Amino acid sequence: MRALLADIGGTNARFALLQDGRIGAPVILPVAGFGSAEDAMEEALKRLAPAAPPEQAVLALAGPVLAEPVRLTNAPWSLESAAIAARFGMRRVRLVNDFLALAHALPHLAGGDLVRIGGGTPVASAPMLVVGPGTGLGAAGLVPTAGDPVAVPTEGGHIGLAAETPREDAVIAALRARCGRAGAEEALSGRGLVNLHAIAAELQGVAAPQRDAAAIVAAAGTCPVADEALAHFLAFLAAYAGDMALAWGARGGIFIAGGILPRLLPRLDAPRFRAQFEAKPPMRHWMADVPLAVVTHPAPAFLGLAALARSSAD
């Protein structure tokens, strides 16, 4: 079996070939560099399978997959499985939510793919949940059943953000004024970090240079505005992950994926982050038993996509 796997986000589209049970090296293409997903796929297939395209494809998309064509939330592409199959002569094309693919990846992550934050013991019969700040903010659960586990994609990245301190109250109010609504993604994403940086400058009453997310991270440690933006980002993320654990009963574990937090691990105060995650009285003791980990695998969605491709071939 050969299958094209793709993890298509708002910034980058990653493609890899599943062949003989192994996932090959990925091709990473900028979404902004191509007019359509099919054009990017054509370029990827030239590099991955120049002789002949594979017979099937499983594509993970950063957006709700409800009806086709599927439109990405944070990019102008739309995709339709029948059109893709016809263009590339494929027998089967499956479109799934990107966090559904990440949920399917959770059982396949090894110890070296994770950095644990604090304690907790996973309950095998309980749901696991993956959340991930990147270009946007995604969330999906993996629920055990008597047969194969069931992945449940959500739009949990758009729930309302909650404040825990008076300073966070001010940040939430500023987010609402800036964005129209203080949704979690407006703080916990690349553009969310930019929002927090601008708000921190306003609250400190100082002028700060305009920075993208990478520049904000780079400025941390030397710029009080960047320091406050990152502190709010991490505090909101820990609290959000804890809220999602409660909502899902996710005693199988909370896994934080996405492109941002792994880059912050060298400066992460893990005990503080864990304490902010657990700070849910009167449920603090319940929270203390929930495992929490950062996913450091460079392309975890491919593990879930490969599992989906194998199940489609069975």
Three-state secondary structure readout of 127-154: CEEEEEECCCEEEEEEECCCCCCEEEEE
C-alpha–C-alpha distance, residues 258 and 241, integer Å:
13
Task: Please check if 227 is assigned to a binding site.
Answer: no
What the block records as the tokens of 273 is 């982050």
Task: Please check if 39 is assigned to a binding site.
Answer: no
* Angle between the N-to-C axes of helices 166-179 and 224-248, in degrees from 0 to 180, rounded to the nearest 10: 90
Tell me the residue ranges of DSSP E strands in the chain: 2-8, 12-19, 22-23, 27-30, 56-61, 70-71, 78-79, 92-97, 114-116, 128-133, 137-143, 150-154, 253-256, 292-295
pLDDT tens for each residue of the chain, 314 residues long? 899 999 998 889 999 999 998 999 999 999 999 999 999 999 999 999 999 999 999 999 988 899 999 999 888 999 999 999 999 999 999 999 999 999 999 999 998 999 999 999 999 999 999 999 988 899 999 999 988 899 999 989 999 999 999 999 999 999 999 999 999 999 999 999 999 999 999 999 999 899 999 999 999 999 999 999 999 999 999 999 999 999 999 999 999 998 899 989 988 999 999 999 999 999 999 999 999 999 999 999 999 999 999 887 65
75 with 62: CB under 8 angstroms? Answer: yes
What pTM did the predictor assign? 0.92
Task: Please check if 10 is assigned to a binding site.
Answer: yes
What the block records as the tokens of 140 is 């999906």
Task: Please check if 11 is assigned to a binding site.
Answer: yes
